[in-house]
């Protein structure tokens, strides 16, 4: 039963040791450790919050970026379309112009040809007139005796003019 | 809810361990009582036959007395005994003498080393037959000596301060970074006590009581563990130490207690008057029985563990004295069992420290709870 009797001396020493241990450990160990733990927990929580926020921001930025990209794409297709239209218009215009120019040139050529033709015809007419005049002159100059001779002579004249 | 279940489970395990230990203790004591009786009988017969064979009593000194050995191992002492060896004039022990600080009305304070007392009386103090200090005039005195347990507590305190000082330095050196080394090891334990033994019960008041709970947890644990070492002192298996620990908790309960706590004890609400007559005295007793259970639980667990290990080992010598073959045979069984108990004790060391800390915080939380807080707490539990 010796075991069950608490000794006063030991109680006093235990009290002293425990009190000083509580004091020393609180000051030098528990406070810094618990503060460090709390601080780290806070830091981690903050870091997680920030990460979450950043994630959201990133998502927002991404959608913004996407919208921008879409806009750019639309603009590009618009520009391309416009360019194509313009090209088509230019080409059409050029074609029309070429066509009208060609037509004009043809017209002019035709007119020229006509003019030339008319000039030629006039020349031919003049030549024919001169020829007739010459022939008539020769005929008139020769005073033809007979009818036969007259015809023969006209034919030679004609043949001569032909030879010309 | 789960926390509560876990805690109950742990308590059930602790109870089972305690029951198991009690069973083995009773079993062993019943075994030992047989040789003890037979030794006593032998003593008698030796005394009776003293006249016939005068040489016989000399041999008696060499007999192995399990009860004496075990009790010496688990009780406090003025010297730190390591081992004894036989020599020509009986057994010589190798022990570290510890300083004695004694006070008596006649001579006031006396300081001397314990081994000096063996050479002769000092200041009227002398050793009695059981190697205990006694006053020559038979008067009472106060013994404030640095005994084996006090020395062991001082060593463990220095160890604790060193361990946690080392751990705490890490927070200053590397703030808000991952813990390393000692810091890493201790941090797990500190946050375990904070999150498992303090916060679930104390809630917002955790910070106020946490330094005490942490100190008590690690003080009990390290002393439990050092007590398991061969030659270690059985500090937490000493009733004076556990009494002091329980007194600390008791004082915190009383100083922290609020009106709500006392009203629940003196005038429990919603209970008929007839039942109150029975319940109130029980509740009043409960104020004391709670810390008393704390002190008995720790003391009984640690003492029982030491008793079992020592008893198993003592069996080797008891049987060895009957015949060397029996001793050799029993040693296999003894060593196997004491190793098993030793491993179990390592678990019990941590478990008892945890239970003491957790129950302390439960009792404190009951005392500091106000009616309003209580409802809040209940509401939290429902979530």
DSSP B277-318: HHHHHHHHHHHHHHHHHHHHHHHHHHHHHHHHHHHHHHHHHH
What CA–CA distance (Å, rounded) separates B305 from B193? 24
Same domain, B113 and B250: no
Interface of B with A in 26-85 (CB under 8 A): 71, 74-76
| Cα–Cα distance measured from residue A102 to residue A60, given in angstroms and rounded to the nearest whole number | 62
Residue A8 to residue B212, Cβ atoms within 8 A: no
Least confident residue range of A16-25, B85-94, B255-264: B85-94
| Per-residue pLDDT at B46 exceeds 50 | no
Q: Write down the pLDDT at residue B344.
A: 94
- Final residue in a domain of this structure, among B112, B145, B178: B145
Of the ranges B124-138, B140-154, B272-286, which one carries the lowest mean pLDDT score? Answer: B124-138
Mean pLDDT of B351-363: 95
Q: Residue A84 and residue A104: Cα distance in Å, rounded?
A: 30
Beta strands in chain B (DSSP E): 79-87, 90-97, 99-104, 108-113, 125-127, 133-135, 142-143
Confidence of residue A23 (pLDDT cuts 50, 70, 90): very high
B129 lies in the same domain as B162:
no
Q: Average the pLDDT over B178-197 and give the result.
A: 90
Q: Would you say residue B38 lies in a domain?
A: no
CA distance B377 to B371: 10
Reported pTM: 0.71
Our CA-based measurement puts residue B230 at a distance from the nearest CA of chain A, in whole angstroms, of 20
What distance in Å separates the CA atoms of residue B243 and residue A8, rounded to the nearest whole number?
A: 10
Is B81 domain-assigned?
no
How many whole angstroms separate alpha carbon B281 and alpha carbon B279? 6
Are B232 and B291 contained in the same domain?
Answer: yes
Q: pLDDT at residue B357 above 60?
A: yes
Looking at the partner chain, which of A3, A30, A39 has a beta carbon nearest the beta carbon of B303? Answer: A3
Q: Under an 8 A CB cutoff, do B161 and A21 touch?
A: yes
Decide if B108 contacts B123 (C-beta within 8 A): no
Q: How close A38 comes to chain B (CA, Å)?
A: 9
| Percent above pLDDT 70 for chain B | 80
**Nearest by CB: A10 against B147, B194, B218:** B147
Q: Is residue B1 part of a domain?
A: no
Tell me: pLDDT of B43 over 90.
no
CB-count exposure of residue B216 (10 Å: 0-12, 13-18, 19+): buried
Tens of pLDDT, residues B218-275: 999 999 999 998 888 999 999 999 999 999 999 999 999 988 889 888 888 888 888 8
Residue B23's pLDDT is 60
Q: Are residues B153 and B231 in the same domain?
A: yes
Distance from the Cα of residue B44 to its chain's centroid: 36
Q: Does residue B285 register a pLDDT over 80?
A: yes
* B143 contacts on A by Cβ (under 8 Å): 7-9
Spatial neighbors of B157 by CB under 8 A, at least 6 apart, are A17, A20, A21, B219
B267/B327 same-domain check: yes
State the average pLDDT over residues B275-283. 90
- Is residue B126 domain-shared with residue B192, that is, in the same domain? no
**Sign of the dihedral through C-alpha B40, B45, B46, B48:** positive
Mark whether B259 and B117 lie in a shared domain.
no
**Assign residue A73 a region: left if phi > 0, alpha if psi is -120 to 50, beta otherwise?**
alpha
Q: Is residue B61 part of a domain?
A: no
The domain boundary, picked from B145, B169, B199, lies at: B145
pLDDT at A5: 84
Q: Which is more confident, B129 or A50?
A: A50
Contacts of B4 (CB under 8 A, 6+ apart): B200
Q: Does B212 touch chain A (CB under 8 A)?
A: yes
d(CA A9, CA A106): 138
Confidence of residue B57 (pLDDT cuts 50, 70, 90): very low
Under an 8 A CB cutoff, do B214 and A25 touch? yes
Supply the mean pLDDT for chain A: 89
Interface test with B, best of A2, A4, A8, A10 (most B CBs within 10 A): A10
CA pair distance A149, A43, nearest whole angstrom: 143
Percentage of residues of chain A with pLDDT beyond 70: 95
| In a shared domain, residues B135 and B152 | no
pLDDT at B147: 92
CB atoms A35 and B171 under 8 Å: yes
What is the reported pLDDT for B45?
38
**d(C-alpha A104, C-alpha B112), whole Å:** 142
Within-domain flag for B94: no
Distance CA B146, CA B99 (A): 6
Sign of the alpha-carbon torsion through B322, B328, B334, B335? positive
Q: Phi and psi for B276 in degrees, rounded to 5?
A: -55, -35
Q: Which residue has the higher pLDDT, A31 or B375?
A: A31
Within this chain, do residues B240 and B292 fall inside the same structural domain, yes or no?
Answer: yes
**Residue B349 C-beta-side C-alpha neighbours within 13 Å:** 20
Cβ separation of B168 and A29 shorter than 8 Å? yes
Number of domains in chain B: 2
Distance (Å) of CA B117 to CA A68, B107, B331: 97, 16, 38
Measured between beta carbons, the chain B residues lying within 8 angstroms of A46 are none
- Express as a percent the part of chain A with pLDDT over 90: 60
Residue B164 has pLDDT above 70, yes or no: yes
Does a structural domain hold residue B203?
A: yes
Q: What is the mean pLDDT of residues B124-146?
A: 85
Cβ distance A9 to B168 less than 8 Å, yes or no, reads no
Query: Could you tell me the end-to-end alpha-carbon distance of chain B, in angstroms, rounded to an integer?
Result: 10
Nearest to B371 by CA among B266, B270, B260, B271: B260
Q: How far apart are CA B356 and CA B244, in angstroms?
A: 13
For residues A23-38, average pLDDT: 92
Which one of A2, A5, A13, A28 would you mutate to disrupt binding with B, by most B Cβ within 10 Å of its Cβ? A13
pLDDT for residue A34 is more than 50: yes
Tell me the pLDDT tens digit for each residue of A90-110: 999 999 999 999 999 999 999
**Same domain flag for B111 and B210:** no
Q: CA of B89, closest CA in chain A: separation in Å? A: 29
> Would residue B60 count as lying in a domain?
no
pLDDT confidence of B378, banded at 50, 70, 90? Answer: very low
Domain that holds residue B339: 148-382
Please report the pLDDT score of residue A135 as a whole number.
81
Separation between Cα atoms, residue B155 and residue A21, nearest integer Å: 12
Confidence band (pLDDT; 50, 70, 90) for B375?
Answer: very low
Q: For B85, which DSSP code?
A: E
Residues B283 and B267 in one domain: yes
Three-point CA angle B21, B27, B28, nearest 5°:
90
Of B145, B161, B176, which residue constitutes the final position of a domain?
B145
Answer whether residue B176 shows pLDDT above 70: yes
Determine whether the interchain pair B150/A40 forms a contact, defined as Cβ–Cβ distance below 8 Å. Answer: no
Give the pLDDT band of residue B18 (cuts 50, 70, 90).
low
Indicate if B229 and B110 belong to the same structural domain.
no
Query: Cβ of B215 under 8 Å from any chain A Cβ?
Result: yes
Q: Do A29 and B161 touch (CB under 8 A)?
A: yes
**Distance separating alpha carbons of residues B209 and B358, to the nearest angstrom:** 12
* Any domain includes B67: no
């Amino acid at each position: 039963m010796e075991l069950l009797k608490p000794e006063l001396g030991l109680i006093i020493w235990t009290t002293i040791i425990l009190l000083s241990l509580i004091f020393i450990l609180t000051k030098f160990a528990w406070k810094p450790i618990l503060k460090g733990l709390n601080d780290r927990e806070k830091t981690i929580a903050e870091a997680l919050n920030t990460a979450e926020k950043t994630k959201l921001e990133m998502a927002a930025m991404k959608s913004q970026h996407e919208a921008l990209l879409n806009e750019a794409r639309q603009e590009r297709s618009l520009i391309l379309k416009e360019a194509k239209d313009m090209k088509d218009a230019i080409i059409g215009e050029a074609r029309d112009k070429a066509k009208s120019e060609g037509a004009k040139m043809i017209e002019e050529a035709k007119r020229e040809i006509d003019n030339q033709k008319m000039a030629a015809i006039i020349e031919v007419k003049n030549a024919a007139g001169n020829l007739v005049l010459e022939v008539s002159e020769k005929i008139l100059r020769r005073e033809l005796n007979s009818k036969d001779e007259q015809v023969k002579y006209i034919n030679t004249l004609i043949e001569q003019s032909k030879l010309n | 809810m789960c926390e509560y279940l876990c805690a109950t489970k742990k308590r059930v395990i602790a109870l089972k361990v305690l029951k198991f230990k009690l069973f083995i203790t009773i079993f062993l004591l019943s075994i030992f009582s047989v040789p003890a009786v037979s030794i006593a009988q032998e003593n008698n017969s030796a005394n009776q036959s003293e006249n016939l064979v005068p040489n016989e009593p000399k041999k008696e000194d060499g007999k192995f007395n399990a009860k004496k050995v075990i009790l010496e191992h688990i009780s406090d002492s003025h010297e730190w005994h390591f081992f004894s060896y036989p020599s020509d004039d009986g057994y010589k022990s190798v022990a570290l003498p510890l300083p004695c600080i004694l006070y008596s009305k006649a001579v006031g304070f006396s300081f001397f080393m314990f081994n000096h007392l063996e050479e002769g009386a000092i200041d009227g103090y002398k050793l009695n037959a059981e190697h205990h200090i006694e006053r020559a005039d038979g008067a009472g005195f106060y013994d404030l000596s640095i005994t084996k347990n006090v020395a062991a507590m001082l060593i463990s305190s220095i160890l604790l301060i060193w361990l946690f000082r080392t751990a705490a330095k890490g927070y200053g050196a590397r703030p808000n970074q991952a813990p390393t080394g000692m810091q890493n090891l201790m941090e797990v334990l500190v946050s375990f006590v904070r999150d498992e033994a303090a916060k679930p019960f104390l809630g917002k008041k955790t910070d106020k009581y946490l330094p005490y709970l942490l100190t008590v947890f690690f003080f009990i644990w390290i002393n439990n563990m050092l007590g398991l070492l061969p030659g270690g002192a059985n500090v937490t298996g000493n009733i004076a130490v556990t009494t002091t620990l329980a007194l600390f908790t008791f004082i915190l309960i009383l100083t922290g207690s609020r009106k709500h706590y006392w009203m629940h004890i003196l005038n429990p609400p919603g209970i008929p008057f007839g039942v109150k007559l029975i319940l109130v005295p029980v509740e009043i007793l409960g104020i004391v029985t709670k810390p008393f259970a704390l002190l008995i639980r720790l003391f009984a667990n640690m003492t029982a563990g030491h008793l079992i290990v020592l008893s198993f080992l003592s069996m080797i010598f008891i049987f060895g004295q009957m015949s060397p073959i029996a001793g050799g045979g029993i040693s296999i069984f003894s060593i196997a069992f004491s190793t098993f108990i030793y491993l179990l004790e390592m678990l019990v060391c941590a478990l008892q420290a945890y239970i003491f800390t957790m129950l302390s915080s439960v009792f404190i939380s009951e005392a500091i709870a106000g009616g309003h807080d209580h409802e809040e707490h209940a509401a939290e539990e429902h979530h």
